């Protein structure tokens, strides 16, 4: 693997409205979660440092730093573990949260095993031979050119970009921790995270004058199973697939992104006008809410007459959901 990286990051214009894949997905899954996270820009004071989402993020960050900047991913994991331990000590100085402390210790050990094994797999298979990294993980901004919404931009934190020597393909590299490869493979071709990145790349290509040398052919997805690789565990533990989209697929995705953004803009106007959020920004509860939504503990309080706003003042803080896309946050372990 060769590194030829070019770090660039655009400043976000306060006069424009930026839409990320994360916000679009949240809106489609649950309007109440969107209302709290994007419209009211709230986040929990107590950050969860363990669990499936946190562990997947750590693995992604470690490998993004490895591919994008040549850093030792195990050293990056050590930094992340120290950061999470400090956060937990700050949030729980007396050690009452025994469950999360044990989970953090367990997750830290497991993610290290996963990354160590991945590095061994690369060495054994030479999977990265002939791949040149041409850009690190960085924000990308594109104008979707939605009629009547000239102030709207699409925003993403694009994964590491690479070029493959044998066929010249330009691919962005992403990493997925999973229990089984099939759970990733079955939906990879319709995964809107990959579609979003690819659409952003196409829009930027159009803006630059359709320079074929800057095209993106698709995604290269590394899959890392969340197993300890013990003597009883059954390999393989790592695999890699390519995901490509044709112009018709990207055009279809652009149309539904455009409609989703129109719905969000309309809902913002209604909320700004004072409409009742319990009516227009309603919840869509599922079994995943328990582990996936940081607002699960207060969601029903908006409907049962509880003094929910007092709880919000006590347990929530205002956040900037786009902070991670600002230039000063790029490459920072935070």
- Digit-by-digit pLDDT tens for the chain (334 residues) are 554 544 445 678 999 999 999 999 999 999 999 999 999 999 998 888 888 889 999 999 999 999 999 999 999 999 999 999 999 999 888 887 888 899 999 999 999 999 999 999 999 999 999 999 998 888 889 999 999 999 999 999 878 999 999 999 999 999 999 999 999 999 999 999 999 999 998 998 888 776 656 678 899 999 999 999 998 999 999 999 999 999 999 999 999 999 999 999 999 999 999 999 999 999 999 999 998 899 999 999 999 999 999 999 999 999 999 988 876 554 444 4
For residue 185, what are its two tokens?
A: 């493979």
Residue 153 lies in a domain: yes
Residue 169 lies in a domain: yes
For residue 186, what are its two tokens?
A: 């079955």
Q: Using DSSP, how many helices (H) and how many strands (E) does the chain show?
A: 12, 11
Q: What Å distances lie between residue 140 and 135, 143, 194, 230, 245, CA to CA?
A: 12, 10, 14, 40, 19
Residue 239 lies in a domain: yes
pLDDT score recorded for residue 96: 74
Task: Give CA–CA dist 86/171, Å, rounded.
Answer: 36
Residue 218 lies in a domain: yes
pLDDT score recorded for residue 9: 52
Residue 328 lies in a domain: no
Question: In terms of DSSP H, where are the helices of 92-191?
Answer: 98-125, 181-185
pLDDT score recorded for residue 221: 96
CA nearest neighbour of 176 among 59, 21, 74, 22: 59
Residue 274 lies in a domain: no
Residue entry with tokens 């499936």 = 52
Count of domains in the chain? 1
For residue 163, what are its two tokens?
A: 């070029």
Residue 6 lies in a domain: yes
Task: Give CA–CA dist 263/72, Å, rounded.
Answer: 43
Which structural domain range is residue 238 located in?
Answer: 2-24+47-256
| Distance from the first to the final alpha carbon of the chain | 27
CA nearest neighbour of 238 among 113, 328, 153, 141: 113
Residue 331 lies in a domain: no
* Residue 28 zone, left/alpha/beta (φ > 0; ψ -120 to 50; rest): alpha
């Amino acid at each position: 693997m060769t590194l030829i990286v070019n770090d660039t990051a655009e400043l976000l214009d306060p006069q424009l409205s930026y839409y990320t894949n994360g916000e679009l997905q949240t809106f489609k899954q649950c309007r109440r979660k969107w209302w709290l996270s994007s419209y009211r820009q709230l986040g929990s004071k107590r950050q969860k440092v363990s669990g499936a989402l946190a562990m997947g993020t750590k693995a992604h960050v470690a490998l993004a730093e490895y591919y994008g900047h040549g850093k030792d991913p195990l050293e990056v994991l050590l930094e992340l573990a120290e950061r999470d331990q400090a956060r937990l000590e700050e949030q729980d100085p007396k050690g009452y949260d025994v469950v999360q402390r044990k989970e953090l210790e367990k997750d830290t050990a497991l993610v290290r095993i996963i990354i160590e094994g991945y590095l061994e797999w690369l060495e054994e298979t030479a999977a990265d031979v002939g791949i040149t990294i041409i850009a690190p993980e960085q924000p990308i901004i594109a104008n979707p050119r939605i009629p009547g919404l000239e102030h709207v931009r699409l925003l993403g934190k694009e994964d590491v970009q690479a070029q493959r020597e044998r066929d010249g393909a330009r691919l962005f590299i992403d990493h997925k921790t999973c229990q089984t490869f099939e759970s990733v493979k079955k939906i990879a071709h319709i995964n809107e995270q990959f579609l979003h990145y690819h659409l952003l790349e196409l829009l930027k290509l159009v803006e630059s004058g359709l320079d074929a040398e800057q095209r993106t052919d698709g995604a290269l997805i590394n899959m890392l199973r969340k197993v300890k690789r013990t003597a009883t565990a059954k390999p393989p533990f790592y695999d890699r697939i390519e995901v490509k989209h044709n112009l018709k697929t990207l055009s279809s995705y652009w149309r539904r992104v455009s409609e989703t953004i129109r719905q969000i803009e309309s809902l913002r106007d209604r909320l700004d006008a004072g409409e009742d959020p319990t009516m227009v920004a309603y919840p869509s509860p599922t079994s995943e809410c328990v582990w996936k939504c940081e607002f699960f503990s207060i969601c029903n309080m908006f409907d049962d007459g509880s003094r929910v706003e007092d709880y919000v003042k006590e347990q929530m803080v205002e956040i900037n959901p786009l902070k991670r896309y600002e230039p000063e946050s790029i490459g920072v372990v935070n």
